């Protein structure tokens, strides 16, 4: 495999790892309640 | 009609919007927040919308009958940029400023820290847009798409953006609500991205007050321009419209958004991937091939975060789809997000080399753009204004019936418009490629143009239907404000 | 949660995320000579051609005409040799366009005589009855303003001296006003008598159109 080809593959793998990490972090069940809180609070911002 | 009854998210039962209205009319909110600015920008948006559409109809007519090129000022080449800038910068930005000022104050529970600056922002904005339109009529045109304004007006645009950004970050820093809701993230990323895009693409060396040359040459200029043009559409016609969608859909249905964490993941993925894709507008041009290929890859990837928002929108209504009938605003949002979903599939597909070789430079792409602007963007802005204007003026919408008429007219107008252009694009693309058995071209160029005139006439008719819908929209909001009870006068 | 409660950090992070793709696909290529290669065969525009190009921009011709021929069989058949990156080294801004309401113009130079362009620009419908191109006869009624020609050439780095610019203008004026100019009759038909000894905006625009794709022939011949 050429150097350029390898670089593209490694970059893709790196991006997949980072997005996996982000998804894993935010989809961790123990953070769910805290993360989802603003969507309920925004409903009563009228007063 | 309840396709998605089961779900682990807590969903608040639909409470009648009438009841919500009563709550909202509490005087505290209209006194506490600065809503005159919201109203000013909302009606500026309507004004530029009507102007931009009249110009649009004019050039649509010129496409099949050049008789309307009456003077240099009314020739197609000049008017087309008045149309795109008038609607993109005039209507689009004004609507974004109106809704952003509203959403910011609400979600942070904080009034604008610099209301006078905001007022100045409004006057300055309309001055720049008016001067911009005049200068484009006069042929002061840098020719870089959606960045056609000459350098003194570019500086004006940067100044008005800074004026806006000061209030955005001022409000966010002083906010009363700890966590920022989705819409605020989108407003932040728009504020940052537009500043970078606009400044980098508009770097130019002045020759006179009315003339300048780009600092970049040839392929580099093309690369910078389409990086800008693609993303300015992204960060004006996607990102802030998503901010409106994520705010006004839950507010007008009383239902919390399906998933906050899905929106987080989509948000970062969208912001990251968008900037790589500009070169899909330069497919098969002399731009280096690797830039084109990278752009294709990220364009395909973009389907994921775009559909994150589509899914979030649809699932928010799970178990409450009856609101499509009972709540007139929901139609706008759901039709809007559907067009966004279609748009974000069609776009990446057009970026594929083989399809691009066929569709690029034809009316297909014009159809694509207008599904986004006439469908997604206008639908969501319409509903946001219908939600916002009665609340900031402590009154009720003048007529829900008219709002429904507006919805159906712009839906039918837009559909007819875009489908007509897709067919025209397929026909022209095929005619360009058609060869005789001996390998020679089957059609000369003029044949491929004149055969489209029937479509152009139909497109004009569709535009008229759409325009009537928009006039009803404007009328409805004007009448809403005019019946405003006197005690709410700010 | 984390950054969603820190607006300034959030904004900085958003800027960083936005700038990654920008840097790789836009900023770095700016400094790579391979993005916009140059060729000695490709000459900058003369002062008159540049004025013509500015008129092309002013009238928004780029809204209907592209200037890039793609390497596709039928496209090369229709327009000629596909576009090479070197051709655009002096194009500030680029004028590749995005929609072909009219045909591509990157190979239009020397395809038709000047007389064809005088007639066609004056009234496209007189040559092609059903054409939807706007008529541009009024360009022949405007005297060409050359007061900024030198400043423009300097700004664009064409390396012309004042006398170069002056010579280019007088030479082109001599060409089109010459008694033996092959397109004299068509030019006189569209140009009012008082401007027939001067350069008009239409003269400059045609000079520009005739330059498109001309130098690349020399470049290809040398290869």
d(C-alpha B27, C-alpha A46), whole Å: 11
User: Residue B286 in 3-state DSSP?
Assistant: coil
Q: Phi/psi of residue B144, each to 5°?
A: -85, 120
Residue C74 domain-assigned? yes
Distance in Å, alpha carbon of B74 to nearest chain A alpha carbon: 47
A30 in B contact zone (CB under 8 Å): no
C-chain CB neighbours of B142 within 8 Å are 57, 93
A40 in B contact zone (CB under 8 Å): yes
Query: What is the DSSP track for B375-406?
Result: IIIHHHHHHHHHHHHHHHTTS--S-HHHHHHH
| Same domain? C137 vs C63 | yes
Contact call for B261 and A19, based on CB within 8 A? no
Q: Structure tokens of B176? A: 């009363």
Q: What number is the average pLDDT over the span B442-462? A: 97
Query: Could you report the per-residue pLDDT of B113-170, keeping only the tens digit for each?
Result: 999 999 999 999 999 999 999 999 999 999 999 999 999 999 999 999 999 999 999 9
| Same domain? C123 vs C183 | yes
C-alpha distance across the termini of chain A, in Å: 62
The boundaries of the domain holding residue C8 are 1-35
Q: Which residue of A has its CA nearest to B28?
A: A47
Residue B474's nearest CA partner among B34, B12, B53 is B53
d(C-alpha C69, C-alpha B443), whole Å: 18
Contact call for B208 and C148, based on CB within 8 A? yes
Parse chain B into domains and list their residue ranges: 34-488
Residue to mutate among C18, C55, C89, with most B CBs inside 10 A, is C18
Q: Which of residues 255-314 of B touch A (CB under 8 A)?
A: 256-257, 259-261, 264-265, 268-269, 290
| Same domain? C96 vs C203 | yes
d(C-alpha A5, C-alpha B39), whole Å: 54
Query: What is the DSSP track for C89-123?
Result: TT-SS----SB-SS---TT-TTTS-HHHHHHHHH-
| Same domain? C215 vs C190 | yes
Contact B461, B57 (CB under 8 A): no
Element (H, E) at B208: strand B204-208
Residue C69 domain-assigned? yes
Q: Given pLDDT bands bounded at 50, 70 and 90, which one contains residue B15?
A: very low
Residue C92 domain-assigned? yes
Query: Could you report the per-residue pLDDT of A15-31, keeping only the tens digit for each?
Result: 999 999 999 999 999 99
Q: Is it the case that residue B11 has pLDDT exceeding 60?
A: no
Tell which CATH architecture fits domain B34-488: Up-down Bundle (1.20)
| Same domain? C192 vs C91 | yes
Classify residue C217 by burial, with Cβ atoms within 10 Å: 0-12, 13-18, 19+.
Answer: middle
| Same domain? C86 vs C16 | no
The mean predicted confidence, pLDDT, of chain C is 96
User: Above pLDDT 90, what percent of chain B?
Assistant: 92
| Same domain? C64 vs C30 | no
Q: Which residue of A has its CA nearest to C3?
A: A35
C4 in A contact zone (CB under 8 Å): yes
* Residues with Cβ within 8 Å of residue B94, at least 6 apart in sequence: B41, B42, B44, B45, B48, B125, B129
Q: How many domains does chain C have?
A: 2
Q: How far is CA B65 from CA B160, B450, C129, C131, C186, in A?
A: 39, 11, 11, 9, 26
Q: Which residue of A has its CA nearest to B106?
A: A45
| Same domain? C12 vs C68 | no
Contact call for B449 and C101, based on CB within 8 A? yes
Q: Structure tokens of B376? A: 């997604």
| Same domain? C82 vs C167 | yes
Contact call for B247 and A26, based on CB within 8 A? no
Phi-psi region of B284 (alpha: psi -120 to 50; beta: other; left: phi over 0): left
C-chain CB neighbours of B446 within 8 Å are 128, 130-131
| Same domain? C94 vs C185 | yes
Q: Which residue of B has its CA nearest to C27?
A: B224
Q: Given pLDDT bands bounded at 50, 70 and 90, which one contains residue B25?
A: very low
Place of tokens 């290669």: C37
Residue B67's nearest CA partner among B78, B57, B75 is B75
Q: Which residue of B has its CA nearest to A28?
A: B261
Residue C132 domain-assigned? yes
| Same domain? C16 vs C91 | no
Residue C86 domain-assigned? yes
**DSSP E strands: which ranges in B123-193?**
none
Pairing of strands B211-214, B204-208: antiparallel
Q: Given pLDDT bands bounded at 50, 70 and 90, which one contains residue B484?
A: low
Contact call for C99 and B366, based on CB within 8 A? yes
Q: How many residues does chain A have?
A: 47
Which CATH number goes with the domain that contains C218?
A: 1.10.760.10
Contact C22, B275 (CB under 8 A): yes
Q: What ipTM was predicted for this assembly?
A: 0.97
Nearest to A41 among B12, B20, B177 (CB): B177
Contact B24, B395 (CB under 8 A): no
A-chain CB neighbours of C1 within 8 Å are 31, 34-35
What is the CB neighbour count within 10 angstroms for residue A17?
10
């Amino acid at each position: 495999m050429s150097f350029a080809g390898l670089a593209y593959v490694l970059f893709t793998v790196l991006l997949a790892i980072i997005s996996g990490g982000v998804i894993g972090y935010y989809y961790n069940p123990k953070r769910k309640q805290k993360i989802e809180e603003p969507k309920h609070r925004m409903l009563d911002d009228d007063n | 009609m309840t396709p998605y009854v089961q779900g682990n998210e807590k969903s608040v039962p639909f409470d009648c919007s009438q009841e919500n209205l009563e709550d909202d009319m509490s005087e505290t909110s209209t006194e506490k927040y600065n809503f005159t600015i919201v109203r000013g920008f909302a009606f500026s948006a309507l004004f530029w919308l009507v102007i931009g559409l009249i110009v649009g109809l004019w050039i649509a007519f010129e496409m099949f009958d050049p008789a309307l090129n009456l003077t240099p000022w009314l020739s197609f080449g000049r008017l087309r940029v008045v149309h795109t800038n008038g609607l993109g910068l005039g209507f689009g930005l004004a609507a974004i400023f109106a809704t952003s000022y509203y959403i910011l104050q609400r979600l942070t529970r904080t009034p604008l820290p610099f209301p006078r600056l905001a007022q100045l922002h409004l006057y300055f904005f309309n001055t720049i847009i008016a001067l911009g339109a005049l200068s484009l009529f006069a042929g002061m045109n840098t020719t870089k798409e959606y960045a056609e304004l000459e350098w003194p007006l570019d500086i004006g645009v940067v100044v008005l953006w800074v004026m806006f950004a000061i209030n955005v970050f001022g409000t966010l820093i002083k906010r009363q609500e700890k966590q920022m809701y989705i819409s605020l993230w989108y407003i932040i990323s728009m504020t940052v991205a537009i500043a970078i895009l606009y400044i980098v693409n508009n770097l130019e060396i002045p020759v006179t007050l009315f003339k300048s040359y780009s600092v970049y040459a040839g392929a580099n200029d093309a690369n910078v321009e389409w990086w800008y043009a693609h993303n300015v559409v992204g960060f004006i016609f996607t990102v802030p419209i998503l901010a409106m969608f994520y705010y006004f859909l839950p507010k007008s249905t009383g239902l919390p958004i399906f998933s906050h964490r899905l929106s987080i993941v989509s948000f970062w993925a969208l912001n990251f991937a968008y900037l790589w894709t500009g070169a899909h507008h330069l497919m098969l041009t002399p731009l280096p091939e690797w830039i084109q290929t990278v752009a294709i890859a990220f364009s395909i990837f973009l389907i994921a975060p775009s559909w994150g928002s589509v899914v979030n929108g649809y699932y928010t209504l799970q178990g409450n789809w009856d609101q499509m009938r009972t709540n007139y605003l929901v139609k706008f949002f759901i039709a809007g997000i559907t067009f966004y979903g279609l748009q974000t599939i069609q776009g990446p597909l057009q970026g594929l080399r083989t399809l691009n070789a066929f569709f690029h430079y034809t009316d297909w792409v014009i159809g694509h753009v207008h599904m986004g602007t006439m469908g997604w963007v206008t639908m969501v802005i319409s509903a946001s204004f219908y939600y916002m204007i009665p609340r900031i003026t402590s009154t009720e919408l003048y007529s829900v019936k008219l709002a429904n008429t507006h919805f159906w007219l712009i839906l039918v107008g837009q559909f007819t418009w875009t489908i007509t252009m897709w067919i025209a694009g397929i026909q022209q693309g095929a005619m360009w490629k058609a060869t005789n058995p001996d390998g020679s071209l089957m059609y000369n160029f003029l044949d491929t143009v004149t055969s489209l005139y029937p479509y152009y006439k139909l497109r004009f008719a569709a535009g008229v239907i759409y325009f009537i819908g928009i006039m009803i929209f404007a009328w409805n909001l004007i009448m809403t404000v005019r019946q405003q009870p006197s005690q709410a006068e700010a | 949660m984390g950054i969603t409660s820190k607006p300034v950090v959030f904004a900085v992070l958003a800027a960083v995320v936005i700038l990654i793709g920008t840097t790789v696909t836009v900023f770095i290529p700016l400094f790579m000579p391979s993005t916009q290669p140059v060729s000695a065969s490709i000459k900058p525009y003369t002062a008159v051609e540049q004025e013509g190009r500015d008129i092309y921009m002013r009238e928004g011709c780029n809204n209907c005409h592209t200037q890039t021929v793609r390497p596709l069989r039928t496209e090369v058949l229709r327009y000629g040799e596909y576009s090479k990156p070197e051709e655009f080294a002096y194009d500030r801004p680029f004028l590749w366009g995005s929609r072909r309401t009219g045909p591509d113009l990157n190979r239009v130079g020397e395809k038709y005589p000047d007389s064809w362009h005088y007639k066609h620009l004056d009234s496209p419908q007189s040559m092609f009855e059903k054409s939807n191109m706007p008529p541009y006869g009024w360009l022949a009624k405007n005297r060409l303003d050359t007061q900024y020609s030198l400043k423009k050439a300097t700004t664009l780095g064409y390396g012309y001296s004042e006398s170069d610019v002056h010579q280019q203008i007088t030479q082109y004026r001599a060409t089109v006003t010459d008694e033996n100019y092959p397109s004299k009759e068509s030019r006189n038909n569209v140009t009012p008598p008082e401007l027939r000894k001067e350069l008009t905006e239409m003269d400059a625009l045609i000079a520009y159109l005739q330059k498109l794709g001309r130098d690349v022939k020399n470049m290809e011949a040398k290869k």
